[in-house]
Amino acid sequence: MKTSNERSIAAITHLSSLSQYIIPFGNYIFPLLLWTTNKEKSNFVDHHGKQTLNFQLSILLYSLLFIIIAVPTFLIWLFKIIQQLELEHHSVEFHEVFTTQNITGMVLVGFVAAVLLIALKLAEFFLILYAAYKAADGEYYKYPLTINFIK
């Protein structure tokens, strides 16, 4: 049976990831501090600290992948539209930008990547809350789709 202190520290380790919304890189700094100061005292806290950091690193990797796909495809599409409008020498109208001729498969890939990035960030928020709840209950929790960087 895990002690109340172990469960609290494990839950706080997960919740400290939410500091990213206030402090840049807080989702790495605070869980790392909590984990390194308490990992020798409890296997339970050690497990949850590793899970928190592995999850945050995995989210970073997935986010960078989606951004690397979405941003260049959007910029390439935007430059093509600007170039096309400059060649035709007429004013820019909104309905002319979003035609079936201008929306290509590449744009759709970029749009899907942007939607997946938003879904990923929403899932991250709720998974952090769920993991903190499981840790407070004294259960071992493993985030889904997490790469084990720290073993």
- Does 147 map to a domain? no
Burial of 57: CB neighbours in 10 Å, binned 0-12, 13-18, 19+: middle
- Does 85 map to a domain? yes
- Does 75 map to a domain? yes
Q: Quick one: CA dihedral 99, 101, 106, 109, positive or negative?
A: positive
Q: Is the pLDDT of residue 128 over 90?
A: yes
Q: What rounded mean pLDDT belongs to the chain? A: 87
Q: Per residue in 17-30, pLDDT tens?
A: 999 999 999 999 99
Identify whether the C-beta of residue 17 lies closer than 8 Å to the C-beta of residue 27. yes
H and E: helices and strands count for the chain: 5, 0
Per-residue pLDDT at 96: 58
pLDDT higher for 104 or 76?
A: 76
Q: Which domain holds residue 87?
A: 4-136
Per-residue pLDDT at 79: 79
- Does 55 map to a domain? yes
- Does 144 map to a domain? no
Per-residue pLDDT at 102: 60
* Number of structural domains the chain divides into: 1
Q: Per residue in 85-122, pLDDT tens?
A: 665 555 555 555 556 666 677 778 888 999 999 999 99
Per-residue pLDDT at 125: 96
- Does 150 map to a domain? no
Instruction: Please name the amino acid found at residue 33.
Output: L
- Does 91 map to a domain? yes
Per-residue pLDDT at 24: 92
Per-residue pLDDT at 2: 81
- Does 77 map to a domain? yes
Round to whole Å and give the CA distance between 146 and 45: 18
Q: Per residue in 38-70, pLDDT tens?
A: 999 999 999 999 999 999 999 999 999 999 988
